[in-house]
Amino acid sequence: DTAVSQTPKYLVTQMGNDKSIKCEQNLGHDTMYWYKQDSKKFLKIMFSYNNKELIINETVPNRFSPKSPDKAHLNLHINSLELGDSAVYFCASSQDLQGVTDTQYFGPGTRLTVL
Amino acid sequence: AQKVTQAQTEISVVEKEDVTLDCVYETRDTTYYLFWYKQPPSGELVFLIRRNSFDEQNEISGRYSWNFQKSTSSFNFTITASQVVDSAVYFCALSRDMRFGAGTRLTVKP
């Protein structure tokens, strides 16, 4: 059983399009995250949701909108895609321990290519 | 603000050599966790270790060992007798906000 899954694995699209990436975790964790990894491998947290509530919202263009329908899902919707959005996007989940982040388990990543 | 510095961008060693990956962190929290993750060429992020800020004991797991020193705000990772399969990018990270370092790319040559 996959602990954290993401779909799709690869996404190729044209500039200006809107796309979504889905994430699901079956670990029973309370907190989920989205990260962006650029071509230089730099990993940056974008959003964090705890029990469907937004906790961390880093400086990310408002074209990016996370949506958490329930505790096990955190989807990432991107409007008006730009070339600079090309990256690998990772979803992760963890069980918060008294407000301190526990071990995060990552999904396999979604490689987004904007042409 | 929290910050993680991995000053070594790339390291290249020959198989069976020992190698240490450095991680220096900054935080004002008294309770925090430090992590190491491995990202092999296949791209997934693999959890290696979590260390609580109150536990300064060194940890050993097979060929891997970690040295946590609060006095120098460091959490270094040593691979003993490196193998080709250890080739990957290694990330150090710090909670609460899960700040990742820039990563160290380790290449182990046969």
Residue A100: predicted pLDDT = 62
Residue of A2, A31, A36, A41 to mutate for B, most B C-beta atoms under 10 A: A41
Residue B20: predicted pLDDT = 98
Residue B11: predicted pLDDT = 97
Phi/psi for B45 (5° steps) reads -105, 120
Phi/psi for B34 (5° steps) reads -115, 145
Chain B residues close to A88, C-beta within 8 Å: 43
Residue A60: predicted pLDDT = 87
Chain A residues close to B34, C-beta within 8 Å: none
Q: How far is B74 from chain A (nearest CA, A)?
A: 19
A104: closest CA among B36, B74, B7, B109?
Answer: B36
Instruction: Render pLDDT for A103-114 as a digit per residue (tens, 0 to 9).
Output: 889 999 999 999
> Does A101 contact B31 at a Cβ distance shorter than 8 Å?
no
Report how far residue B89's alpha carbon sits from residue B62's, in angstroms, rounded to the nearest whole number.
19
Residue A99 has pLDDT above 60, yes or no: no
Report how far residue A91's alpha carbon sits from residue A10's, in angstroms, rounded to the nearest whole number.
14
Residue A81 has pLDDT above 70, yes or no: yes
Tokens of A95: 């069980």
Give me the residue label for tokens 């990957």.
Answer: B88
Residue A55: predicted pLDDT = 75
Q: Parallel, antiparallel, or unpaired: how do β-strands A64-70 and A87-94 relate?
A: unpaired
Residue A73: predicted pLDDT = 94
Tokens of B56: 């300064």
Burial B62-73 (b: 16+ CB within 10 A, else e): eebbbbbeeeeb
Instruction: Render pLDDT for A14-32 as a digit per residue (tens, 0 to 9).
Output: 999 999 999 999 999 988 9
Residue B79: predicted pLDDT = 97
* 3-class secondary-structure state, position A106: strand
Instruction: Render pLDDT for B19-34 as a digit per residue (tens, 0 to 9).
Output: 999 999 999 988 899 9
Residue A66 has pLDDT above 60, yes or no: yes
Chain B residues close to A100, C-beta within 8 Å: 29, 31-33, 95-96
Chain A residues close to B98, C-beta within 8 Å: 33, 45, 48, 101, 104
> Does B44 contact A109 at a Cβ distance shorter than 8 Å?
yes
Over residues A63-92, mean pLDDT: 94
Instruction: Render pLDDT for B76-107 as a digit per residue (tens, 0 to 9).
Output: 999 999 999 999 999 999 987 788 999 999 99
